[in-house]
Amino acid sequence: MTGAGPVPVADSVSAEFWAGCRRHQLLIARCIACEHLEFPPVERCTACWSDRVGSLRSEGRGIVEAVAFIRSSVVPQFMEQCPYTVVLVRLVEGVRMVGRLHGADAGEDPIGLAVRVDFVDTVDCSVPVWQPAG
């Protein structure tokens, strides 16, 4: 997928998440003080404001709650990939995550579909994507 488009840029808050993706591990933020889970990664827990935030390895499974069928993009590299599908997934751990859906029938409504995470590797990073759990 080299040249597939803009790549994520890790910062101090998201670096651990992206490093996990490189190892094909989906990490979600977990507050060490109160065990609150959330995504995307945060510097402080939004439940108790503790700055002691670690990570939990997700099972990488969830259910599609919303969908967008992308047919056009202002980013040329993404336009070349149209059409594609982006889904909102509620993970079994309870947090939601957005990502592309691969391996499903184009145009079919995936809401309610059980999915599992996969990773697309590029030269620069690994990006989580979703596919039917089978």
Other Cβ atoms less than 10 A from the Cβ of 118: the count is 18
CB of 31 to Zn ion, least distance (A): 3
Nearer to Zn ion, 50 or 77 (CB): 50
CB of 30 to Zn ion, least distance (A): 9
Q: How many residues bind to Zn ion according to rule CB under 5 A?
A: 8
Phi, psi (rounded to 5 degrees) for 15: -55, -45
Q: Is 46 in the site for Zn ion (CB under 5 A)?
A: no
* DSSP states of 74-120: SSHHHHTT-SEEEEEEEETTS-EEEEEE-SS-TT---TT-EEEEEEE
Of 31, 113, 115, 127, the residue at the interface with Zn ion (CB under 5 A) is 31
Q: Is 95 in the site for Zn ion (CB under 5 A)?
A: no
Residues that bind Zn ion (CB under 5 A): 31, 33-34, 36, 45, 47-48, 50
